[in-house]
Amino acid sequence: MTSIFREPRIADDAAPATASLPEVAPRRRPLRASLTPSALLNYLLLGVGAVVVLVPLYSIVAVSLQPRGIPAAGLGWPADPQWSNYVEAWNIGTFGVLLTNSVAIALPVVTIAVLFSTLSGYAFATMRFRGKELIFALLLIGLVLPFEGTIVPLYYTLRALGLTNTMWGVALPEIGLYVSFGTFWMRSAFSQAPPSIVEAAQVDGARQWQILWRVLVPISWPSITTIVILFFIWSWNEFLVALVILQDPASRTAPAGLGAFVGEYTSDVPLLAAAAVIVAVPVVLVYILLQGYVIRGLTQGAVKG
């Protein structure tokens, strides 16, 4: 007996209940609509800032190519650039030795200061221990303490330890000076890491050392690269410590050697400008090559999610 309740048969070629809607191309935002008054003001301020930064750089390069013995007039590019000024400044000021000394000091300073900053920043960001806030506050004194006020007792301390006229006599004070800022910076970077990542690593049995180097350091790499660049620039430009601690001309750094060079060739402006460009070129190159990391490090944590 056939059931009277039969399921309705639908033909295979039957049309669907709802017709497909035509695809609509995304509407593009006109270019003029994005140029709001605030955006134009930002571009204007950036342009003014670029001019303020680039004009002095252009002027010192232009002056360095002027003929020696002739007073520099205006900011015009010289008709006959004297590139030999750089060769003479390099040879007279022995900048090959000075730049080598600066690199020999900057490399251990950056390496040790970044390592200590990473370790201490991780401790203050993730660990709980007695006196944590007090120790962190004492560490931050290095950010507000005028370093020039400690240079005299620092000199006598380093002389008693036999560290004057040595690389470590300059490197150790710089490391102690930079670790304060580095700790503050890395503590902020590690604090912005998602807690779920750290908790997942702890559930998987990861130890503190593994959480630091395998979890937090990779996601905080832009911040680490930023302090690497900052520490290198600060160490390279450090003048007072090198001038006081390094009395031997053969052990001077590039900024200290430039100061002695200025005192000896005060009237030779093109030669002084060429020497200043030589000292500044390494820092400018480092920043140009790694500026992307600096921008990402400065903006890391600005947006959550």
What is the DSSP code (8-state) at residue 303?
A: S
Asked if 253 and 283 touch (Cβ cutoff 8 Å), the reply is: no
> Between vectors from CA 260 to CA 254 and to CA 265, what angle results, nearest 5°?
115
Please report the pLDDT score of residue 36 as a whole number.
Answer: 84
Domains and CATH numbers, the chain: 93-299 (1.10.3720.10)
Crossing angle of helices 95-126 and 84-92, in 10° steps, is: 80
- Report the b/e string of 182-192 with b at 16+ CB within 10 A: bbbbbbbbbee
Asked if 179 and 113 touch (Cβ cutoff 8 Å), the reply is: yes
Residues of the chain with pLDDT under 70: 1-34, 71-74, 266, 297-305
User: What is the chain's percent helix, strand, coil content, to nearest 5?
Assistant: 70, 0, 30
| Token representation of residue 270 | 């093109």
Burial (Cβ within 10 Å: 0-12, 13-18, ≥19) of residue 41: exposed
18-51 pLDDT tens trace: 445 555 555 555 545 467 888 888 889 999 998 9
250-268 pLDDT tens trace: 888 999 888 888 777 767 8
Please report the pLDDT score of residue 303 as a whole number.
Answer: 46
Question: In 3-state terms, what secondary structure has residue 249?
Answer: helix
pTM, rounded to two decimals:
0.79
| Token representation of residue 151 | 């240079």
Please report the pLDDT score of residue 232 as a whole number.
Answer: 93
Please report the pLDDT score of residue 11 as a whole number.
Answer: 47
CA-to-CA distance for 240 and 237, rounded, in angstroms?
A: 9
Asked if 275 and 261 touch (Cβ cutoff 8 Å), the reply is: yes
Please report the pLDDT score of residue 194 as a whole number.
Answer: 83
